[in-house]
Structure 1
């Protein structure tokens, strides 16, 4: 029996799945979501300096759209599309100041699945039956919950009638480019704030739209201070705090060689995501997010990075890694005793920076408690993994996720909560930050595993009778693998928790997997789980029999691929076929 004490992780409740149909966008619209997002980001950056004021005349909008196209080498065929997005962003701040109860969400009926839609029409438009076949239901329910008036109809007459009543002061719409071009003069004349997310097709049947853009505009409100933050600029500022000059200016010069090594390690390469989360959390919750960033905030962010860099020193020793950031690890450069001592020094430095903060005593106490609890939980997660190496057994998927949670989530939680504590609003968001950090920690580890798996795992050929290579394998195989010292390229040893696939009798055994495959049914080019999703059900209806959920009560197994589906992270030959899943147990 293993001595590892690992509790089974609780997977979050299933999130309702929004039906996403795919159709190729029309030629005058960028063909990929990545390209459309890039163009929207470029427009927002352009408006930071252009200083346009809505409502801008049509000729002026065309001029600026053409300038954006020319300056960024965009395809000229996208000019009208860029003009619509430009108009939307011009109205963004104004829309945010208008109460939800004074807004209209206007959607076209062509968003429905015409051949299957059961919804009838009345004199005002389509009456959604909540069948779940399209996105109309999701947009309508969310908007009405916020207080919007909602119409699923075409034509400007009914909209102008609503505007004339004085009850509607802003419009969030979805429409195709030809209709938007025809209605622009009306919106300009009425000078009413209006944003319209373009449909990706204009053939008036089974059309699609960028769902996240609609969601963003629906929820715009002036009460949300975080939407005004330039997070990219904020991240750049945080990274500047970790130059050697900035660290010495904030913390003072090192007193001896040990502090010098610690300071060099702290300044060495890194993305600084954790201190960035601290600052972003503080900025999102403070009363004046445009105000200057205090030295106390900077020192708190540096403390968070001290904890992180100390954990890396210890991780590199535990994993016997020789390189990090493309350079020698601290123990490879200075020896294990010095590295251990420097790691311990960084932990103490982090607590010192928090304790010396010139803030209210209760804020200081809260930050110290957060850091101590996070340190304890992180060590427990890492300890579970190290103990597993001593007594390897095959772990269930939820046990692997629990180790991921314990060893990765605490660092995110500490970073976010320290920022919230400094803002004085920790009590309001503590539970939300805890849940978010757990989900982020697990997702971060899985995504990191997938990246490494795609680049380091050798291709093999599996027996047709072998289980999917993403499943946990036997305890005996795990014990055999544990006899070989871990030699990695910086990968944490948690990736060793799931072992190699079994080979058929008479075949050469497959090379050891260097880490677990946590992708389940993900492919190399799709690094997220691609589970079979059935048709959405109406609200309150029982789950469909065609729906295959990730986890059922009492079911602690990875979802296997179906027969005939290739394992995309292993061999691609005829032998790389997964066995079918066993029949699911009847629901309790």
Structure 2
């Protein structure tokens, strides 16, 4: 079946890139790790709200010491800690009894057309900043929304008796001043700290705001540890577990295929299969059965087969920092190993302990995904025979066909195992398409910005940055001719350097990032019609998880930083107060 013509999503505003204040962890990955470990710590110590400032500070200091963090982060930890102890309570409160409190400094100050009244900023829906989208979604859910700030305002709102919970975005100092009022009223509140406090074009971890905005006790997975689940999924690919689930590798060919299957990888696709199954369970701590594991491994079999074949077709030399499969064993062996993994994938599906209808649906989903991926790869390969400029939508269509099917198959296999409806499957298809495109755009952005990444300007593959540059040089004949030469892969190294300069001049990276964020948002918006709050909440968080920055050995990084600080200063410069 032919896919519909691809259309561009509504552009969403990008936050300006700014360095966080020194008392806030500097990378998104570090902040994610702190929040994840703090969530587990709250359960461990059994903290019960409301916490007094003394209790809050004490627990925050204990956590900072245990995790080896710089004490300068204590206030930040205190804010996250207070939010975590209220999390389950806030989830039970209807959206109609909640207030979303946003700061006016999220706006682009020098361009914002919004006026103010006695209640705060009156958003003009210009689309320049994130306030519009947050306000629209919150009001759609039933929240009261104010774009204002200040501890006096918080007190006035609490005293009305019309609000039972507050979701607030603000800087650490304002949150600290507001804490006594929240504590006195024992009103549930979750705060997302701004990353700066200078009140001009500030930034925030927006995914956290969206996550809390949709927090509801109807979502049984809102306490599910996605990091823990992903680590569990990764464990399914050690040799002992693969032998348990797939049977012994009885030949050299099977051993080679298993080694390739077990090679390093992000495991996002099998993780998605497990996520969908988890979302349907009353108890998210229930043990995952072998049938789900087999389906998840089948997804990875398909993925690793496509990589083996793709590396041959693209003549790539390296994968996972090592020689590609065909460089290690030769093209004939690599082709055969890919074919074997395809067979193993279908075999695992048929071995799942599931109703015949479910196994048929899983097989159909895998076959359809395999076909769509091959059509996308075919379009790319045929392009390489006579390379010429592709439009933005043509490149995105290749992304849709090459990358999105793997996400769709992963999700649909999990959905088939739990008896998802046809309406849910249709939503999963739309979600997967947007998610896959956003994922591939991220790869192109990384290629553009990372000196260690393979360069699509040299490789024979369609490039989104090059498509954008081709469109933006339409009125510059000389520059456009050079871009067209790059499309044909005829540029000298000096001309490639000029192309990169043009990409900076025409802000190609920014356009790529806007598209990435827009497709991420489209993926989330696809979930609106899902009836299952658990599946909706989990898939929303999956978007944030996939696109968050991973940090390895983060504790050792903090410890090294702390050691360096202690060498230059006899005392820590960390704040002594844990903000609420």
TM-score by structure 2 length? Answer: 0.72
* Equivalent residue number for residue 124 of structure 2: 130
Aligned with residue 488 of structure 2, among 491, 499, 511: 499
Which residue of the other structure, out of 8, 18, 22, is the alignment partner of 1:12?
8
- 1:564 corresponds in structure 2 to none
Point out the more displaced range, 325-334 or 199-208: 199-208
Note if contact 2:441-2:512 (Cα within 8 Å) is conserved in structure 1. no
1:441 match: 436
Give unpaired runs (5+ residues) of structure 2.
459-475, 516-580
The residue aligned with 1:251 is 246
Q: What pairs with 1:247-326 in structure 2 (closer than 5 Å)?
A: 247-321=242-316, 323-326=318-321
Distance of 1:164 and 1:317 partners within structure 2: 67
User: Separation in 1 of the partners of 2:102 and 2:394?
Assistant: 45
Question: Counterpart in 2 of 1:568?
Answer: none
Structure 1, unaligned stretches of length 5 or more? 1-5, 475-497, 503-508, 533-588
Change beyond 3 A, Cα 1:525–1:111: closer
CA distance in 1, matches of 2:25, 2:93: 31
Residue in structure 1 matched with residue 391 of structure 2 by the alignment: 396
Distance 1:206 1:335 in 2: 54
Give me the whole-angstrom Cα distance separating, in 1, the residues matched to 2:38 and 2:413: 34
* Count of residue pairs the alignment pairs up: 490
* Distance (whole Å) between structure 1 residues aligned to residue 427 and residue 434 of structure 2: 11
Partner SS state of residue 249, structure 2: coil
Query: Is 1:355 matched with 2:340?
Result: no
Q: Counting helix residues as a fraction of each chain, which structure ranks higher?
A: 2
2:235 to 240, 256, 259: 240
Higher relative contact order (CA 8 A, sep 6+): 2
Q: Is the Cα contact below 8 Å between 1:8 and 1:402 reproduced in 2?
A: no
Residue-by-residue CA offset, 1:32-85 (whole Å, 9 max, x unaligned): 656555543443343242321111121111112222333344443432332122
Say whether the 8 Å CA contact 1:84–1:196 is kept in structure 2.
yes
Cα pair distance change 1:301/1:426, threshold 3 Å = farther
- In structure 2, what is the Cα distance between the partners aligned to 1:322 and 1:113? 45
The residue correspondences of 1:411-430 to structure 2 (distance < 5 A) are 411-430=406-425
| Aligned counterpart, 1:87 | 82
Report the aligned-residue RMSD: 3.9
Larger Rg: 1
Alpha-carbon distance between aligned partners in 2 of 1:419 and 1:301, rounded to the nearest angstrom: 8
1:140 lines up with 2:135 in the alignment: yes
Q: Secondary structure, in 3 states, of the residue corresponding to 2:354?
A: coil
Q: Separation in 2 of the partners of 1:111 and 1:317?
A: 48
Equivalent in 189, 195, 206 of residue 194 of structure 1? 189
- Partners of 1:323 and 1:345 lie apart in 2 by 21
Deviation per CA, 1:70-124, whole angstroms, max 9, x where unpaired?
Answer: 33444434323321221112111111111111212234566667886653434xx
| C-alpha distance 330-501 of structure 1, shift in aligned 2 (>3 A) | closer
Query: C-alpha displacement at 1:390, in angstroms?
Result: 3.3
* Greater Cα offset, 134-143 or 188-197: 134-143
TM-score after normalising by structure 1: 0.71
Superposition deviation, residue 388 in structure 1:
2.8
